[in-house]
Amino acid sequence: MKMRKPKRRLFSLTLRQQNTLAGYLFSLPFILGFLFVFLYPTILSAVFSFNELVITKTGYELKYVGLENYRHVFRVHPTFIRDLTETTINMLSQAFWILVFSFFAAIILNQNFRGRLIARAVLFLPIVMASGIILKIEARDYMTGILEYGMESVSAFLVTPALSVYLSKFQLPDALITNILAAIESLPNIIRSSGIQILVLLAGLQAIPRSLYEASEVEGATGWENFWLITLPMVSPLILTNIVYTIVDYFTSTSNLIVSNIRAAAFGTLGYGIGSAMSWVYFGVIGGILVITFVIFSRLVFYHE
């Protein structure tokens, strides 16, 4: 792509065509990667899910088995469907609390107070720490288990009963109370998985033009009204971003039950075919949930242009 001599080039390529060509050239790394490193293996995995894969000396051979792998996943596998339901339900409740917490934390971190820098540094620490090998090791660690248990049991024995008595006074539905109590018990987990979400919302809060608040102050609006009429609508696109990020992060985390199921199947005795079938069922569920969230929330999102 040379545009050094625009006069001569203009005869052969219009400005629009030049633009398109340059755009594609810049995007070339991703186009190649998408086709060969992402799409091609993904299609292969769809093919695998209808086949039995046998490793030979020169590569691998496929034996067509139709829907047999999917039948195995749904009918024969002892825990897959149960694990899938459990993971999905956990995800929904955890995602909800992560969103609430990260919103609250971002608003607090956006205020002016002494020690704000330290508080921010600490809250973003999990982004640096809680990934990869550390998560894997903590999941099976003896000591962490005991200490976490100690922490959870404090809330289980002290906070939870008192709170459940208190909550029951409000005549809330039982399911909601159970959900709130479960959230309190997994609070450490929720806080530690909120780093990126807080960062995104905090950046959004800081991007709201000051002039909006100044104008509303002239009109005599209260802080409460400001929150509902300015802050919330202005960060609503980011709330959608956060919802999607949270769902994806939960579903693709390696400590997740289904992910370990898939790995056990693919690299264990069940074989690649069944592993692929499991991944596709799993992807179907994720995709479905994402589409539903998008349809519901994109109506509520406000875009300030």
Q: Which of residues 55-114 bind other proteins (CB under 8 A)?
A: 58-60, 105, 108, 111, 113
- Select from 8, 12, 78, 133 the one that contacts other proteins (CB under 8 A): 133
Q: Is 38 in the site for other proteins (CB under 8 A)?
A: yes
Closer to other proteins by Cβ: residue 89 or 172: 89
Shortest separation between residue 278's beta carbon and other proteins, angstroms = 8
Shortest separation between residue 86's beta carbon and other proteins, angstroms = 17
- Select from 125, 158, 162, 296 the one that contacts other proteins (CB under 8 A): 125
Near other proteins in 214-243, by CB under 8 A? 237-238, 241
Near other proteins in 154-173, by CB under 8 A? none
Closer to other proteins by Cβ: residue 73 or 266: 266
Q: How many residues form the binding site for other proteins (CB under 8 A)?
A: 98
Closer to other proteins by Cβ: residue 41 or 161: 41
Contact letters (x/-) for other proteins, 257-296, by CB under 8 A? Answer: --x--xx--x-----x--xx-xxx-xx--xx--x------
Shortest separation between residue 17's beta carbon and other proteins, angstroms = 9
Residues β-bridged to residue 51: 64
- Select from 2, 63, 75, 299 the one that contacts other proteins (CB under 8 A): 2
Near other proteins in 171-200, by CB under 8 A? 187-188, 191-192, 199-200
Shortest separation between residue 76's beta carbon and other proteins, angstroms = 20
- The DSSP annotation for the chain comes to ---S-HHHHHHHS-HHHHHHHHHHHHHHHHHHIIIIIIIHHHHHHHHHTTEEEEEETTEEEEEE-TTHHHHIIIII-SSHHHHHHHHHHHHHHHHHHHHHHHHHHHHHHHS--TTHHHHHHHHHHHHHHSSTHHHHHHHT-HHHHHHHHHHHHHIIIIIHHHHHHHHHTTT--HHHHHHHHHHHHTHHHHHHT-HHHHHHHHHHHHHS-HHHHHHHHHTT--HHHHIIIIIHHHHHHHHHHHHHHHHHHHHH-TTSHHHHHHHHHHHSSS-HHHHHHHHHHHHHHHHHHHHHHHHHHHHH-----
Closer to other proteins by Cβ: residue 50 or 272: 272
Query: Would you call 102 exposed, middle or buried from its count of C-beta atoms within 10 A (0-12, 13-18, 19+)?
Result: buried
Question: Of 24-32, 72-80, 83-91, 172-180, which part binds other proteins (CB under 8 A)?
Answer: 24-32
Structure tokens at 202: 């905090």
